[in-house]
Amino acid sequence: MKGKTLVISGGTRGIGQAIVYEFAREGVNVAFTYNSNEEIALEQVKDLEANYGIKAKAYPFNILEPEKYKELFLEIDKDFDRVDYFISNAIISGRAVVGGYTKFMKLKPRGINNIFTATVNAFVVGAQESAKRMEKVGGGSIISLSSTGNLVYIENYAGHGTAKAAVEAMVRYGAAELGCMNIRVNAVSGGPIETDALRAFTNYEEVRDKTAELSPLNRMGKPQDLAGACLFLCSEKASWITGHTLLIDGGTTFK
């Protein structure tokens, strides 16, 4: 994988940051997006290049404007000579999910639409742009992050869980149509993972304790758990895996 290039949305925190470093350790060059904190993004670029000898670049990007992926990839083209992997990871929180992160009877179209835009539409446009570039280098791997919230009930998660179910279906359609370009498309679905996004949940402590109780491994998931799964799916060891959702849940959905 050394010398190849990963493009990932949302690479400065949580799962995205863990993925960036997981790939950097393998010698993969990284183009990652950030939402607002340029200082943190630039510091991460310096750290990646200094410690792993790769090329890294950070780009500002609003995941609620997925149509601007086209402009973003044109900027990436100026800095990198190839795209081999694309991971749709960025999520939204805060005011953007008002009316989307709530009880079923309180769901509002604006909140649900924002979640679908950031989850499904952003995956589609990002995957389309990356696939055009992967075709030129003989293939590649595309991944969408997902969540077990589309399989099991999580309080206030109807908007997110439904969007994750939709993106997993979109992954299968992408896999069916991009295989002829030697491009594999998969999803990595995580159970509750210890991140800032989860800690923002109103019932975070309950989710944390219940997850550890349900898991035979007696702990919550860590960002590195999903990062390793993404690295595997992009590697040659997963060369016949496509249209699949890899469940990384610590055994919690069975119980």
What would the pLDDT profile of 36-62 be if each residue is shown by its tens digit?
899 999 999 999 999 999 999 999 999
Q: What is the pTM of this model?
A: 0.94
Pairing verdict, β 245-248 and 183-190: parallel
Q: Which domain holds residue 12?
A: 5-192+223-248
Residue 138 belongs to some domain of the structure: yes
Pairing verdict, β 140-147 and 29-34: unpaired
Residue 90 belongs to some domain of the structure: yes
Task: Yes or no: say if 20 and 29 are a contact pair by the CB < 8 Å rule.
Answer: no
Kindly report the CATH number assigned to the domain that includes residue 140: 3.40.50.720
Residue 110 belongs to some domain of the structure: yes
Residue 253 belongs to some domain of the structure: no
Share of residues in the chain with pLDDT > 90 (%) = 80
Total count of domains within the chain: 1
* Catalytic annotation present for 164: yes
Residue 209 belongs to some domain of the structure: no
* Catalytic annotation present for 157: yes
Amino acid 218: pLDDT: 86
For residue range 197-208, list pLDDT tens digits in order: 777 666 677 777
Task: Yes or no: say if 9 and 33 are a contact pair by the CB < 8 Å rule.
Answer: yes
Give the mean model confidence (pLDDT) for residues 92-115: 93
Question: Which residue of the set 52, 59, 69, 157 is catalytic?
Answer: 157
Amino acid 254: pLDDT: 77
Per-residue burial over 74-95, b if 16 or more Cβ lie within 10 Å, else e, is eebeeebeebbbbbbbbbbeee
Question: Which residue of the set 55, 69, 164, 173 is catalytic?
Answer: 164
| pLDDT-based confidence at residue 213 (cuts at 50, 70, 90) | confident
Amino acid 205: pLDDT: 79
Distance, in Å, from the CA atom of 53 to the CA atom of 60, rounded to the nearest integer, reads 23
Amino acid at 213: E
Mean of the per-residue pLDDT values of the chain = 94
